[in-house]
Amino acid sequence: MKRPDPRPDLDKLQPYYSSETAGGRIFLHANENPYPPPDDVLNEIFEAAAKIELNRYPDPEPIELIEELASYAGVDRSWIWIGDGSNEVLLQACLAYGGPGRTALMFEPTYVMHQRQARMSGMDVEVVAREADFSIDVDRATSAIKEKSPAIVFVCTPNNPTGTVTPVADVHRIAEAASGALVIVDEAYFEFCGLTVAGDLPDFPNVLVARTLSKAFRLASVRLGYGIGDPVLLEQMRRVRMPYAQSAFTQLAATVAVRRRAEMLPIVDQIVAERDRLIETLAKVARVEVFGSGANFVLFRYPEAARLLDELAGRGIVIRDFSHLKGCENCLRVTAGTPAENDSFLEVVTTLV
């Protein structure tokens, strides 16, 4: 008997790995929200969850959730797409608008899944390097778009792992240059900077904004992401959607969390304050170069990144190594945790010798 051969182009795709977490006690590697939802919100979710009929399929079109997301995003409900985490939304966009023989263009270093999602759909990938400060040079971006004629352009803002915010006007220029291609604006972290292109979408029928409840909404384990875009654009994505994709629990938890956003979101201010404290403190450490961030994490460079990572791991503090990414040599990324968690991290970094 012979084993089957995988798709030949799979060799361009490496499985996704995050940091080693065994032995960890403070987890600042995955850009999670360190605070669970308030008790009151949790109680509502778990009381309602007891009534879920597990033998039945979940609602194929959870209107209440879609309406809550539409009201939060300030659009009509026909402009909302939901997926199992924004990762699924991004993959579905690639499956519908990418595929073999087409090209995805992205500005690296950026979220490593974008390249994988494009390749999973069979696309070729063209990379435009970000500047040394990780901003996007829009003139270079627009000429690359003209030259490569991509079917999909990814813009991540705030950008993971660098934290860089791309000004809204620059996103507009990129979207104009990419007329006829799908522009995916990944706004997973938008609540931590407040800048979005969601309100401008009526002028940009080629833009899909991808967002998530995993970060500001504190629901990483629930797996709910959403897209915002022109209904005609979303219509094509229905072709690549699984039936009954979001579990009944996911629908329930997400609906309650977004409906009760007035209780869920004020925590963002605390996280932003802690992020800024991380930046200010890191900036004072000798041989550390720290980058500005509009997200809930901070990227910094330290010439002995590997040693620092080991020292932190020895104390059970897990952050994420990005040294292997082009442009991020010796760079580490730390998520803004609780003040106590950040203190533990900063204590190690500020006593570096």
Q: How far is the CB of 188 from ligand PMP (least distance, A)?
A: 4
Task: Build a one-symbol-per-residue string for 61-100: x at contacts with ligand PMP by CB under 6 A, - elsewhere.
Answer: ------------------------xxx-------------
Q: Which stretch binds ligand PMP (CB under 6 A): 14-22, 73-81, 212-220, 248-256?
A: 212-220
Please report the beta strands in the chain, taking only residues with DSSP state E, as ranges in sequence order. Answer: 26-27, 80-83, 103-108, 124-129, 152-156, 182-186, 207-212, 225-229, 289-290, 297-301, 317-318, 320-321, 331-335
**C-beta of 196 vs 281, nearer to ligand PMP:** 196
**C-beta of 258 vs 281, nearer to ligand PMP:** 258
CA pseudo-torsion sign 269, 81, 112, 21: positive
Closest chain position to ligand PMP (CB):
85
Q: Which of residues 132-191 bind ligand PMP (CB under 6 A)?
A: 156, 160, 186, 188
Q: How far is the CB of 187 from ligand PMP (least distance, A)?
A: 8
* Other Cβ atoms within 10 Å of 7 Cβ, number: 10
Q: Which residues contact 156 (CB under 8 A, 6 or more apart)?
A: 107, 110, 111, 114, 185, 186, 188
Three-point CA angle 332, 336, 339, nearest 5°: 125
Give the whole-angstrom CA distance, residue 21 versus residue 26. Answer: 9
Task: Build a one-symbol-per-residue string for 329-348: x at contacts with ligand PMP by CB under 6 A, - elsewhere.
Answer: --------------------
Q: How far is the CB of 156 from ligand PMP (least distance, A)?
A: 5
**Coil, strand or helix at 8:** helix
Q: Is 111 one of the binding residues for ligand PMP (CB under 6 A)?
A: yes
CA pseudo-torsion sign 247, 251, 256, 262: positive
Q: Is 117 one of the binding residues for ligand PMP (CB under 6 A)?
A: no
DSSP code at position 57: P
* The binder of ligand PMP chosen from 33, 92, 196, 212 (CB under 6 A): 212
Q: Is 225 one of the binding residues for ligand PMP (CB under 6 A)?
A: yes
Q: How far is the CB of 297 from ligand PMP (least distance, A)?
A: 9
Q: Is 214 one of the binding residues for ligand PMP (CB under 6 A)?
A: yes
**C-beta of 16 vs 351, nearer to ligand PMP:** 16
Task: Build a one-symbol-per-residue string for 32-51: x at contacts with ligand PMP by CB under 6 A, - elsewhere.
Answer: --------------------
Give the whole-angstrom CA distance, residue 174 versus residue 186. Answer: 14
Q: Which residues contact 39 (CB under 8 A, 6 or more apart)?
A: none
Q: Is 31 one of the binding residues for ligand PMP (CB under 6 A)?
A: yes
Q: Is 227 one of the binding residues for ligand PMP (CB under 6 A)?
A: no
Selection from 197, 150, 135, 189 nearest residue 172 by Cα:
197
Residue count of the chain, please give it: 353
Structure tokens at 52: 């879920």
* Other Cβ atoms within 10 Å of 8 Cβ, number: 7
**C-beta of 206 vs 214, nearer to ligand PMP:** 214
Q: Is 296 one of the binding residues for ligand PMP (CB under 6 A)?
A: no
Q: Which of residues 188-207 bind ligand PMP (CB under 6 A)?
A: 188
Q: How far is the CB of 230 from ligand PMP (least distance, A)?
A: 21
Q: Residue count at the site for ligand PMP (CB under 6 A)?
A: 13
Give the whole-angstrom CA distance, residue 320 versus residue 331. Answer: 9
Q: Which residues bind ligand PMP (CB under 6 A)?
A: 31, 85-87, 111, 156, 160, 186, 188, 212, 214, 220, 225
